[in-house]
Structure 1
Amino acid sequence: MKKNNPIQQTLTLVKKDLLLEMRQQYAFYGVLLYIVSTVFVINLMMGKPEDKLWNALFWVVQLFVAVNAVAKSFMQESKGRLLYFYSLVHPRYFIAAKLIYNIILMVVMSLIALGASIMLLGNPITNPGYFVGVVLLGGVSLSLLFTMLAAIAAQANHSAALMAIMGFPLILPILMLLSNISVSAFLTVFQPELPRMFWLLGGLDFLVIALSLILFPFLWKD
């Protein structure tokens, strides 16, 4: 990796993670099995729920998909491998690559979860294009947050309890915003507060990215 080319370093790290994921497909298929089985169990217990309940259940599934798919990104990195990467690239490039990789992974998982939900729980969505956009945006938001939490937990001896404690108060506003924004996909009435909620969600995403890029170099030194 060239020291003077941060974009190349970042993209090389993203490619490395993608290649590892393709070789270790048990992780991908494990999350895929979780999505299908969870939605199938919901179908067995509730059939085809009404639109508001459908929306709430979908975002609950998305939350646990993010925990299973994204939070493991740092758990699979050993201390020796992290030390090796520390000698090659700047910590900001490393965390930027993790953010990009997890966004790609979560976008794919979000589309799979949406397809499974529509097939097994029915399709109460009146504006599918809008909802798909919100799902992709939500996948990005969840991946950014849990990447930052996983990075912090990895420096605390991979403490899953620490990630859960930190994540609970942080994930609530994002889930509330996503559920309120996605409600418009089930309605024909325009919500006047919708643009403000999009700006709030974008602001939270920007804040998470900024905190990750600023804090991770100090965490990695330890």
Structure 2
Amino acid sequence: MGNPVFILLKKDFLLELRQQHTFFGILLYVASTIFVLYLAMGQPESTVYNGIFWMIQLFVCVNAVAKSFLQESRGRMLYFFSITSPVSFIIAKLIYSTVVMLLMVLLSLILFRILLGNPIEHYLKFIGIACLGGISLSLVFTLMAAIAAKAQQNAAIMAILGFPLIIPQLLLLIRLSKSAFGEVFREGALLQISALLIGLDILVIVLAIVLFPFLWKD
């Protein structure tokens, strides 16, 4: 018998391959949104570019991560309950959502550079911050999706619960990514913001591991 987390991850990716319409639907959403922005404003200056990037990642995350739990039927959840532990299940969902969100972030970066130009001075730094942000967003919304899945599969609940929690992270990410556009920060500020974001990510993971078993038993 293999590692249960790996087996659950394999299951999620195989389902994604079989139900490609969902994944490609999100890709189309990302591409069409960025293309419409290009038609509307051409190549924006750095502040607008930065803000638009993070707003798109927020809404892409809601669409991409919501299906991780909301696609699971009650019968399937009862089956998982009988064959695996809640901790293995939630860890597999967190990893799966993180991988999907990282793919969306990288796609967004490519399309932004092609269509909206490149006002970024330190592109590698921005890529790193974007990946950190994608991980942060996916972790929060995966936990919210787990809660929403127990509330009659209502995706609106995920958004209502998630947005108040995600706003501080978004503000930190927007502030942190300004350094990639050439803004000067006082010494040590970037390290403090990055450490705070990583700390919040760890807190979300711990909360998911602690709280999900109680949802699992419901």
TM range (shorter): over 0.9
Q: Deviation of residue 188 (structure 1)?
A: 5.8
Q: Which one of 189, 195, 200 corresponds to residue 199 of structure 1?
A: 195
The AA in structure 2 aligned to 1:90 is S
SS of alignment partner, residue 144 of structure 1: helix
Alignment equivalent of 1:69, drawn from 48, 56, 64: 64
Specify the SS of the correspondent of 2:110: helix
Paired residues for 1:27-46 under 5 Å = 27-46=22-41
How many residues are treated as equivalent by the alignment?
A: 217
Residue matched to 1:15: 10
Which residue identity is paired with 1:20?
L
Deviating beyond 2 angstroms after TM superposition, the runs of 4 or more aligned structure 1 residues are: 188-192
AA matched with 1:9: P
Instruction: For residue 92 of structure 1, report the CA deviation from its aligned partner.
Output: 0.6
What amino acid sits opposite 2:207 in the alignment? L
The two structures, once aligned, show a CA RMSD in angstroms of 1.1
Unaligned runs of 5+ in 1: none
**Separation in structure 2 between the aligned mates of residue 161 and residue 29 of structure 1, nearest angstrom:** 22
Percent identity, aligned pairs only, is 56
Aligned equivalent of 1:219, options 206, 215, 218 = 215
In the TM superposition, what is the alpha-carbon distance from 1:161 to its structure 2 partner? 2.4
Q: What is the Cα deviation at residue 163 of structure 1? A: 1.3
Inter-partner Cα distance in structure 2 for 1:170 and 1:188: 26
Question: Does 2:101 align with 1:106?
Answer: yes
Displacement of 1:190: 4.2
Deviations 1:133-154 (A, max 9, x none): 0111111111101100000000
2:116 maps to which of 121, 127, 130: 121
CA contact (8 A) 1:174 1:201 kept: yes
Q: TM-score, normalised by structure 2?
A: 0.97
Asked if the contact 1:131–1:185 (Cα under 8 Å) also holds between the matched residues in 2, the reply is yes
- Alignment partner, residue 133 of structure 1: 128
Question: Partners of 1:191 and 1:66 in 2: how far apart?
Answer: 31
Report deviation, 1:160: 2.0
Residues in 1 aligned to 2:134 and 2:174: alpha-carbon distance in whole angstroms: 13
Measured in 2, the distance between the counterparts of 1:65 and 1:146 equals: 11
**Any idea what the Cα deviations from partners look like across 1:78-133, whole Å, max 9, x if unmatched?**
00000000000000100000001111111111100111111111111110110110
Q: Work out which of the residue numbers 126, 138, 141 in structure 2 matches 1:143.
A: 138
Q: Find the counterpart in structure 2 of residue 210 from structure 1.
A: 206
* Residue-by-residue CA offset, 1:183-210 (whole Å, 9 max, x unaligned): 1000063443211111110111011000
- Residues of 2 paired with 1:20 and 1:162: CA distance? 25
